[in-house]
Chains A and B, each alone.
Chain A
């Protein structure tokens, strides 16, 4: 049951072979049995799940159900869920029960899906290993000594362990794609503005984008379809029609040109991973695609530019956590300054503090032009490199991450080395392009992810290439040992 596709599950539900209540109970039981080893879920919403499942079963009986009706899912705990704790994995929001729901949450609920719970993550989505969570790190189901990646590590780990058929994630610098790669699942970060950010707790507003963690490109297409589209409540949402993602999955990729940026196949890339990417590219070539070497001359400046833009926006966004209107408040503040400083000092973890300070520094008087303006200019150069590249190729392929999942604790004390684990993903966020990670093999039993990058609003094309690749390979169907029993 746990390895069935969304289509198969939906067919079983519609043919009354199983009810949504049974399906939801099945996955809730898996969570209770298996998640204590992973810590991928921070809040289980069993009661709400069962009542949503009952409603889904009614809709199915009435014949007014869609493809997602009755399908269980998990939400990253960055999405506000009305009357349910929404923590962002921070002590700051440990007591926060959201008064409204994110548009993503509402749209997936309207499509009939059943939320089982909220997933663990790096605190305020700041991290690449899930180790910054207030609730403790998440473990990688392929080897519990390894990190699952971050920041959507809980969602990736849970889908990899088949604790739910699908989960939401968010991606500011690689936070869907890198954990998808580390855990061997399929993840897509759409074009900036494609999915509403309303009710998604903001980290870096010009980079944040919600997306999908799923078992396959086909499943990701179905889930993204329900999430994507214009939302008046998000001022950065793009008012542009959404394509039919499932329709183009089976298109031939014959004649398509896939670009390999030479900068992404440099010394930073581990040899064993390079071999897996070469094999994956050969598979895509065997399906009729043409392969072309390209260059993204400024891409090596993406991590430096990101660590100006993202912290600057973070310091502005997180100023709302002031101990006055919501979130943690310190005991017995003596004055307003003390209230702000101690509430924030106690509520935020180390990495969040580093980024707030970094942002405050680059935005402070006298430094703005040298850092913030400079980073925005570099960002433009990086975007122009991609625009030039997409004049010659349809899709860009690379490794998602320069290494496989690393051991917990290995990079925790060294922020810069942690930041560099996102060198292949961050440029995509700076440019605002859609990107995916697709499982493409194993190195020492650790999953490797193939990154596919598309032009603006080319989600259909990305999902199509990923699906065609998954028709010729079965890496996406592999289940970690210890999680393969019903």
Chain B
């Protein structure tokens, strides 16, 4: 298998993704199968080929640095799990 259970634990941690212990082996098997599919890419030589990030090779558009949006903090915080006085609350980070 290309991806071992310990790789799954590592990736899940990097992605801050909770994965149940009993599912790790199944994820390792699935991801290994997907990687076998992915590795078919190696059949073609891509030396010197410019990587393609955007279908139309557009560059990021820029605009003048000016305020355009109105402040809708209250609307946006209505959908937050836990807010107080306009602040998002999370478990204590610094003791």
Residues of A within 8 A of B (CB): 95-97, 99, 192-193, 206, 232, 235-236, 238, 298, 300-301, 303-305, 307-308, 315, 319, 322-329, 333-342, 344-346, 348, 353-354, 356-362, 364, 371, 373-381, 383, 415-416, 419, 430-433, 456
Contact = CB atoms under 8 A, between A and B. Distances in A.
Given A95-B79, A99-B76, 18 more contacts: A97-B79, A99-B78, A192-B56, A193-B58, A304-B39, A308-B41, A319-B15, A324-B88, A335-B92, A353-B27, A356-B15, A357-B17, A364-B14, A371-B38, A376-B52, A378-B46, A380-B51, A416-B33
B44 to A, nearest CB: 6
Given A304-B37, A361-B7, A383-B52, A341 B76 contact: no
A99 B33 contact: no
B86 interface: no
A96 B81 CA distance: 10
A457 to B, nearest CB: 10
A339 B82 CA distance: 12
B79 A345 contact: no
Contacts of A337: 16
A236, A308, A357 interface centre (most CB from chain B within 10 Å): A357
B67 interface: no
17 contacts: A97-B78, A97-B79, A99-B72, A304-B38, A307-B34, A322-B16, A324-B81, A326-B81, A341-B18, A345-B17, A345-B19, A377-B46, A383-B52, A415-B33, A415-B34, A416-B37, A430-B55
A377 B51 CA distance: 4
Interface in B41-75: 41-44, 46, 49-56, 58, 60-61, 63, 72, 75
Nearest to B12: A357
A337 B13 CA distance: 9
A182 B78 CA distance: 39
Contacts of B88: 324-325
B52 A358 contact: no
Please report whether the interface of chain B is mostly helix, strand, loop or mixed according to DSSP: loop
A129 B65 CA distance: 44
B2 to A, nearest CB: 10
A305 B3 CA distance: 18
Nearest to A432: B55
A336 B37 CA distance: 36
Contacts of A345: 17-20
B81 A361 contact: no
A354 B34 CA distance: 10
A333 B41 contact: no
A361 B11 contact: yes
Given A236-B54, A301-B43, A376-B51, A308 B38 contact: yes
Contacts of A99: 72, 75-76, 78-79
A357 B91 contact: no
A344 B19 CA distance: 9
Contacts of A344: 15-18
B40 A361 contact: no
Contact of A431 (B14, B44, B49, B55): B55
Nearest to A334: B91
Contacts of B56: 192-193, 238, 432, 456
Contacts of A375: 38, 41
Contacts of A327: 81
Q: Can you list the 3 inter-chain pairs with the closest CB atoms, starting with the nearest?
A: A432-B55, A345-B18, A376-B51
A315 B15 contact: yes
Contacts of A378: 41, 44, 46
B61 A235 contact: yes
A192 B18 contact: no
Contacts of A238: 56, 58
B28 to A, nearest CB: 10
A379 B11 CA distance: 25
Contact of A353 (B19, B72, B92): B19
A399 B39 CA distance: 26
Contacts of A359: 15
B30 interface: yes
B80 A325 contact: yes
A298 B46 CA distance: 11
Contacts of A315: 15
Contacts of A300: 40
Nearest to B8: A357
Contact of B49 (A326, A346, A381, A419): A381
A372 to B, nearest CB: 8
A418 B27 CA distance: 16
Nearest to A361: B11
Contacts of B33: 415-416
A421 to B, nearest CB: 13
A194 to B, nearest CB: 10
